[in-house]
Structure 1
Amino acid sequence: MTFDLFDPLPPDADVPASEPLGPGAVVLRAFAREVAPSLLAAVGEVSASSPFRHLVTPGGLRMSVAMTNCGERGWVSDRTGYRYDALDPESGRPWPVMPTSFLDLAVRAADAAGYPAFAPDACLINRYLPGTRLSLHQDRDELDLRAPIVSVSLGLPAVFLWGGLRRADRPARVRLAHGDVVVWGGPSRLVFHGIAPLAAGDHPLTGRERINLTFRKTR
C-alpha cells in the first residue's frame, strides 16, 4: 500500500475542519494558527524558566529533539527509564505552570475531536531543527490511557508518521503545517507514531525551528 504526503496548505487556504487518521484520531487543520503567536510567546516564557535540553534514553542515546515541559508534571528520560516527575531534574524546582493559552487550546481541540472534558496536567514542548527526528513510539507512560493525546504543530512543516498498533506496521506519512493539531485516543491511543527528519526551511514566526506542544493527562 502506498501513502501520499498531504499537500502544503497556504495561510489563506480554505481547509476542512478535520481529516480522519483512524478510529478516534483526526488532524484539525489550522486549528491553532490564529493563536500561534501567543502560544510561541508562552513557549519562550516556559523555556526561560526550564530551558530546552537533550534528554538521554535508558540505553544511553542522546535524543536529537530538544525538549522541556510545563504543567503539574514533566516527562523525563535518563539511564533509569522514562517517567513523569513533578520536579525539573535540572533545577529541582516544579515545572512552570501551564499557560492559560495552552490549556484553552488543548481543551478546545480535544472537544472538537470528540473528547469532551479533557484535563491535561502536562505539556511536553519539543524543539526540532532541520535533520532532527522522532522515531516511532507509543505514548504509554501515562496512568490514564482513556484520555487522548493533543499535539500542536508550530513553525516549520513536518512529516508525521502515523503507524499501527505494532511497531512493524508501515506508517502513513502525513504533512503537518503550522497551526495543525492532531488528536488521537480511544482505539488509536497506543498507535505508534513519530516525526521524519525535519526538512530545512525558514518560518516567519520560528525561523529554522519547529515547535511541538503535546498535551497529556498523566494520571
Structure 2
Amino acid sequence: VIFSTSSINEVREAMVYLGTRSFDMKPAKIIDIKEVGDGERVCVDTASMLHKGEGMLIGSRSNFLFLVHNESVGSSFTSPRPFRVNAGAVHCYTLSPDGTTNYLSEVETGSEVLILNSKGKARRATVGRSKIERRPMLMIKAKAGEEIGGIIAQDAETIRFVKPNGQLVSVTHLKKGDTVMVHSKPATGRHFGMEVSDEYILEK
C-alpha cells in the first residue's frame, strides 16, 4: 500500500485508521481456577492512558485470549495506574498490531501492543517499560463454544477480567461459572508469530 500526501493531518488520520482494528469478542465460562505457586509475570507499562473497559488480549494459547483489564481502577493496596496492564506469565501470548503474536517475555520499551475494549475495538499503544517479577500465580481456564483456553496470571486484586455486561471482576474474586470476555477461534499453526492457516496444531 502506497499513501501519498503532503498534509501532516492526513498522515495522522491515516495512522489512526491503520492502527484501529476490530476483533470478535465472545463470552467464555470459567471452568477451572487453581493456585500454581510462584512464577514470573509481566507488567506492561504503556505510554498511553488506558480507559475503563480497555485491556490487552492475553492467553496461554494463541487462538484463545482473555481480555485482561488495565489498572485504571486501583485497589485497596495501590493507587490507579491507568497506563499499566499486569498481563500474565512470561510464556503467555499477546497480539501485536501487525497480527502476529508475541510472548510477553519479548515485550520491551518501544514495542507496540494492541489495546482493546470489550466490544473488540482495538488501538495501538507503545510500551514504555516492561517489568518481569516473581509473584504467586493462578491458572485460570475457560470455555467458549468448543474451544477451551487458559491463562496464568498473578494472584492479586489488581488483575481483572471484563464481564459481558462491562463490569470488572478481579481474579481473586473469580469463581467457576463466571463469564468473561475472550477472543477465540479455531486453532491454527504459527511460525515466528505469523499465522499459518493450513497447519494443524494442538495446544493444551
Q: Same fold (TM over 0.5)?
A: no
Higher strand fraction (1 or 2): 2
In proportion to residue count, which structure has more helix?
A: 1
Structure with larger RCO (C-alpha < 8 A, sep 6+):
2
